[in-house]
A and B are shown apart, each in its own frame.
Chain A
Amino acid sequence: MRFDFFQRDAGLPNRLVPFTTTLLFAIISEVPLHIPALSVVTPAFTLMAVYHWTIYRSELLPPIAVFAVGLLLDLLNGTQYIGTSSLSLLLVRSALLSQRRFLVNRPFPILWSGFLLVTAAVIFFEWALVSFLHGETLGAQPFIFEAVMTVASFPVGSYLLAWTQRGFLMRV
């Protein structure tokens, strides 16, 4: 965790862009989108943001920010298991940091494949954790559906994040 946020810096608003976009993605995943295919289970937009920023600008999305967004996500979606999202997002950040050299500035299909693996791991982890906490094996279908939706909508999310990055963080 760096303390760049608190240094006198003309680029502070720009430096907050990764956190702001991650927060925005978390809020969007809680709003009814009225798109038939996305209405039952919304894609894990927050995961996309954490994936993108950890690979490209991890110093601007410190662990505390990931934790805070995960916590907000859990509180907003009304789950009984508060902390599940912050835990899985923090684990994703830690795992990605050691692997980012394989993903940074690579062609999009490689980035997408990496995201597929991360999503599969996260959704499986959440399924196992919630099943354990609930004391009963949960039906895998909604989880598989969420994973598929998330991976399928990654190009859109990734494009938006890359566009934001080009717009705000070229010189920061």
Chain B
Amino acid sequence: MRERSGTVDRFTAPFRAAAQRAAVPFLIFLSALFIVLGKADIVLFEHLRITVADAAAPILQAVAQPIATAATGVRNIEAVFAVYSENQGLRDENARLLQWQEVARRLEAENARLRGLVKFTPESPVRDVAARVIGNSGGAFARNVLVNAGSREGVNRGQAAATGEGLVGRIAEVGDHSARVLLVSDLNSRIPVLLDDTRERAVMAGDNSDQPRLLYLRANAAVKVGERIVTGGAGGVFPPGIPVGVVASIADGVVRVEPYAELSRLEFVRIVDFGLEGVLPQNAMPLPKAAKGAKVIVDPDVMR
């Protein structure tokens, strides 16, 4: 038996040696091929990416959850030491907010009266899904996070993802129980925005830095540092008015935005379904009928 395997070894040895020599160039070639294919055929790789993400989601969640719990524990201990000064700050803030509450109540009542007068069509009801961040892109050339909610929880491509502070990004890929949020700072992120004071429109484009740029801003727009930025609603991707950030700097004609949401410390995000279909394809496949069907389901809610 041993002799026989020795013979086989002798017979296969040259082939094995050749395979070993060819392995590295072949795999390097394969990697390069993948890069080219990824650039050309995004759909195939998109399916592959989300399938892998779906399969890895339980593992990532199992690792992410204890780390998040430990991080929360550390933050809680830190908070104990800051409790006095924080309390002082919160008292001041509370006093200010109570004044604002009065203003808001008055405006709400006034708004309701005016809406009644002009027979205003109310916006469709908002449905949201809270999801835990279970993965973030570690590399320097992608800015996205993986969350543990997918199509089973009603997450769809193109929906907005936000935290309490503001917009985080949009859903780029959806699996069964995981989805990928393309952050506003990603290279491929383009979001129509509106500058709140000057009412100027622009497109906020990520460039992998912490502060996205504003593109297509009117040449003589009077933008100021500190001006508030909200989603513009152009293109029907997001409804108008979601807080995005403030103008952080204007240098050499480049306007940069500091997002309200802390993109580097995301733990949970709220995925918001405004019932808008937008300009983004809902799926890689053409699904005009499915899209219509979905609208019929939404309509009774709107009527209610």
Which residues of A pack against B, CB within 8 Å?
1-3, 27-36, 39-45, 62-64, 66-67, 70-73, 75-87, 90-91, 93-94, 123, 126-127, 129-130, 133-134, 138-139, 141-143, 145-146
Among B23, B28, B146, B267, the residue within 8 A (CB) of A91 is B28
Question: Do A32 and B23 form a contact, CB below 8 Å, given A83-B31, A84-B35?
Answer: no
Among B32, B64, B67, B140, the residue within 8 A (CB) of A41 is B140
CA distance A89 to B288 in the complex (A): 43
Q: Check if A31 sits within 8 Å of B63, measured CB to CB.
A: yes
Q: Check if B139 sits within 8 Å of A138, measured CB to CB.
A: no
Residue among A2, A40, A86, A143 facing the most chain B CB atoms (10 A cut-off): A40
CA distance A40 to B42 in the complex (A): 26
Specify which chain A residues have a CB less than 8 angstroms from the CB of B42 in the assembled complex. 80
13 A-B pairs whose Cβ atoms sit less than 8 Å apart in the complex: A30-B135, A32-B133, A32-B145, A33-B67, A34-B265, A34-B267, A35-B71, A64-B27, A75-B52, A76-B135, A78-B137, A86-B31, A93-B24
CB distance from A143 to the nearest CB of B (A): 5
Q: Check if A145 sits within 8 Å of B34, measured CB to CB.
A: no
Specify which chain B residues have a CB less than 8 angstroms from the CB of A43 in the assembled complex. 138
Specify which chain B residues have a CB less than 8 angstroms from the CB of A70 in the assembled complex. 31
Q: Check if A130 sits within 8 Å of B53, measured CB to CB.
A: no
The residues in B between 15 and 68 inclusive whose CB is less than 8 angstroms from any CB of A are 16, 19-20, 23-24, 27-28, 30-35, 38-39, 42, 45, 48-49, 52-53, 56, 59-60, 63-64, 67-68
Q: Check if B71 sits within 8 Å of A34, measured CB to CB.
A: yes
CA distance A34 to B207 in the complex (A): 23
Q: Check if B38 sits within 8 Å of A86, measured CB to CB.
A: no
Size band of the interface chain B makes with A: 35 or more
Q: Check if A139 sits within 8 Å of B208, measured CB to CB.
A: yes
Write out, one digit per residue, whether chain B residues 110-153 have a CB within 8 A of any chain A CB (1) or not (0).
00000000000000000000000111111111101110000000
CA distance A39 to B139 in the complex (A): 11
Q: Does B210 contact A (CB under 8 A)?
A: yes
Q: Does B273 contact A (CB under 8 A)?
A: no
CB distance from B171 to the nearest CB of A (A): 12
Specify which chain B residues have a CB less than 8 angstroms from the CB of A138 in the assembled complex. 141, 187, 207-208
Among A63, A72, A133, the residue within 8 A (CB) of B35 is A133
Q: Does B198 contact A (CB under 8 A)?
A: no
Residue among A80, A126, A133 facing the most chain B CB atoms (10 A cut-off): A80
Q: Check if A83 sits within 8 Å of B180, measured CB to CB.
A: no
CA distance A81 to B207 in the complex (A): 16
Among B28, B49, B187, the residue within 8 A (CB) of A75 is B49
Q: Check if A79 sits within 8 Å of B138, measured CB to CB.
A: no
CA distance A100 to B142 in the complex (A): 32
Question: Do A39 and B265 form a contact, CB below 8 Å, given A31-B63, A80-B38?
Answer: yes
Q: Does B283 contact A (CB under 8 A)?
A: no
Q: Does B266 contact A (CB under 8 A)?
A: yes
Specify which chain A residues have a CB less than 8 angstroms from the CB of B63 in the assembled complex. 27-28, 31
